[in-house]
């Protein structure tokens, strides 16, 4: 499809396990973002990648969170030793370049039990 | 510090009414960008508008209009003749030139349009 693609769409995991969430941005978009949305809340910025520049990790809530991006394509958000407070929708987005229009994927619903 | 405030948590209107969603922002930057997104019950965020700080012209797109006023740091969104399909959570967001990848979102306004 032409939009931002995320997988899995839903993930239930046990507390303490690691999870990986994948994002495939819109082709040609150099900027990629990860946000988190807890139930009934607004969006929290986690990290963004812009081309080959060092990513802005300032929003990552703890060192259990990390993200990688291969070139200008797929990104993976990894949460290690998951906690119940990590339960949220993790939204990926991309744009042609920074400060341009940002398009969001449908999100990955993570539930930690 | 940057901040976006959407003081209206929930609004309920009857179809065909006009409704305005408020957004007030705080930033120290002179160059910044403002956005509105719609999040319907399906969950996907839908881009509605992006406005840069140097363009204070109001914009109209069909039943949607936006009023950007730097003097009051507001970027309000009006839906004219609301429809049931407008029911969603609407988010206002701010991006500063110095950290363009970091959108600061308001907490959203849940709009319910009843038939």
- A58·B37 Cβ contact <8 A: no
* Angstrom distance (rounded) from CA A62 to CA B19: 40
DSSP chain A: --S-EEE-SEEEE-TT--EEEEEEPPTT--EEEEEEE-TT--EEEEEEEETTSPPB-TT--STTEEEEE-TTS-EEEEE-S--GGG-EEEEEEEESSTTS--EE---EEEEE-
- Check whether B97 has a pLDDT greater than 90: no
- B101·A33 Cβ contact <8 A: yes
Count how many Cα atoms sit within 13 Å of the Cα of residue B45 in the half-sphere of its side chain: 31
Chain A residues with CB inside 8 Å of B50's CB? 100-101
pLDDT (0 to 100) of residue B59: 84
- Check whether B84 has a pLDDT greater than 80: yes
- B35·A50 Cβ contact <8 A: no
* Angstrom distance (rounded) from CA A67 to CA B34: 26
* Angstrom distance (rounded) from CA A41 to CA A12: 20
Q: Which two tokens stand for residue A40?
A: 């009934």
**Mutant choice from A32, A99, A100, A106 vs B, greatest count of B C-beta within 10 A:** A99
Q: Which two tokens stand for residue A72?
A: 């200008």
- Check whether A1 has a pLDDT greater than 60: no
* Angstrom distance (rounded) from CA B45 to CA A104: 6
Q: What percent of chain A has pLDDT over 90?
A: 69
Question: Is residue B36 within 8 Å of B48, Cβ to Cβ?
Answer: yes
Chain B residues with CB inside 8 Å of A33's CB? 101, 103
In B85-114, the residues whose Cβ lies within 8 Å of chain A are 91, 93, 95, 97, 99-108
List Cβ neighbours of A91 (8 Å cut-off, separation of 6 or more). A6, A34, A35, A36, A37, A43, A104, A105, A107, B45
Give the range among A83-92, B73-82, B88-97 with minimum mean pLDDT: B88-97
- B101·A89 Cβ contact <8 A: no
Question: Is residue A57 within 8 Å of A3, Cβ to Cβ?
Answer: no
Confidence band (pLDDT; 50, 70, 90) for A96? confident
The residue with greater pLDDT, A31 or A1, is A31
Question: Is residue B74 within 8 Å of B67, Cβ to Cβ?
Answer: yes
pLDDT (tens digit per residue) in A57-77: 889 999 999 999 987 789 999
Phi/psi-derived region of residue B86, left when phi > 0, alpha when psi is between -120 and 50, beta in every other case: alpha
């Amino acid at each position: 499809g032409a939009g931002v693609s995320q997988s899995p769409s839903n993930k239930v995991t046990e507390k303490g396990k690691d999870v990986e969430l994948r994002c495939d941005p819109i082709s040609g978009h150099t900027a990629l973002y990860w946000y988190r949305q807890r139930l009934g809340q607004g969006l929290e910025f986690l990290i963004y990648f812009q081309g080959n520049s060092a990513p802005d990790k300032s929003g990552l809530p703890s060192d259990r969170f990390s993200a990688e991006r291969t070139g200008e394509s797929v990104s993976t958000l990894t949460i290690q030793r998951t906690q119940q407070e990590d339960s949220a929708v993790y939204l990926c987005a991309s744009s042609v370049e920074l400060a341009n229009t940002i398009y969001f994927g449908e999100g990955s619903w993570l539930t930690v039990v | 510090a940057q901040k976006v405030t959407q003081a209206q948590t929930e609004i309920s209107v009857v179809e065909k009414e006009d409704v305005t969603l408020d957004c007030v922002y705080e930033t120290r930057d002179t160059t910044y960008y403002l956005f509105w997104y719609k999040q319907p019950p399906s969950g996907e965020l839908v881009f509605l508008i992006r406005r840069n700080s140097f363009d204070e012209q109001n914009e109209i797109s069909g039943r949607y209009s936006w009023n950007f006023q730097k003097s009051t740091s507001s970027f309000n969104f009006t839906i004219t003749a609301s429809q049931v399909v407008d029911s969603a959570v609407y988010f206002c967001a701010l991006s500063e030139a110095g950290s363009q990848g970091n959108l600061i979102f308001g907490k959203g306004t849940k709009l319910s349009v009843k038939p």
